[in-house]
Amino acid sequence: NAGVTQTPKFHILKIGQSMTLQCTQDMNHNYMYWYRQDPGMGLKLIYYSVGAGITDKGEVPNGYNVSRSTTEDFPLRLELAAPSQTSVYFCASSYSGVEAFFGQGTRLTVV
Amino acid sequence: DQQVKQNSPSLSVQEGRISILNCDYTNSMFDYFLWYKKYPAEGPTFLISISSIKDKNEDGRFTVFLNKSAKHLSLHIVPSQPGDSAVYFCAAGAGSYQLTFGKGTKLSVIP
pLDDT digits (tens, 9 = 90+) for B31-57: 999 999 999 989 999 999 999 999 999
Residue type, A66: V
Tell whether B27 lies on the interface with A, counting CB pairs under 8 A.
Answer: no
Q: What is the pLDDT of residue A96?
A: 82
Residues recorded for chain A: 111
Selected for mutation to probe chain A from B97, B98, B100, B105 (highest A CB count within 10 Å) is B97
The helix/strand/coil state of B57 is: strand
Q: What is the pLDDT of residue A1?
A: 64
> Per-residue pLDDT averaged across A5-31, rounded?
96
Task: Enter the DSSP assignment of B34.
Answer: E
> Distances in Å between the alpha carbon of A30 and those of A27, A51, A57, B100?
9, 5, 16, 20
Q: State how far residue A99 is from chain B, nearest Cα, in angstroms.
A: 7
Q: Which residues of B touch A106 (CB under 8 A)?
A: none
How far is residue B104's CA from residue A66's CA, in Å, rounded to a whole number?
Answer: 27
Q: Is residue A74 pLDDT above 80, yes or no?
A: yes
Which residue in B has a C-alpha nearest to residue A4's C-alpha? B43
CB pairs under 8 A between A and B: 54
> Per-residue pLDDT averaged across B69-83, rounded?
97
Strand pairing partners for B23?
B73
Confidence of residue A40 (pLDDT cuts 50, 70, 90): confident
> Distances in Å between the alpha carbon of A29 and those of A36, A49, B6?
20, 10, 30
Q: Which residues of A touch B24 (CB under 8 A)?
A: none
Q: What is the pLDDT of residue B27?
A: 92
Q: Is residue B96 pLDDT above 70, yes or no?
A: no
How far is residue B86's CA from residue B62's CA, in Å, rounded to a whole number?
Answer: 14
B26 or A2: which leads in pLDDT: B26
> Per-residue pLDDT averaged across B84-100, rounded?
89
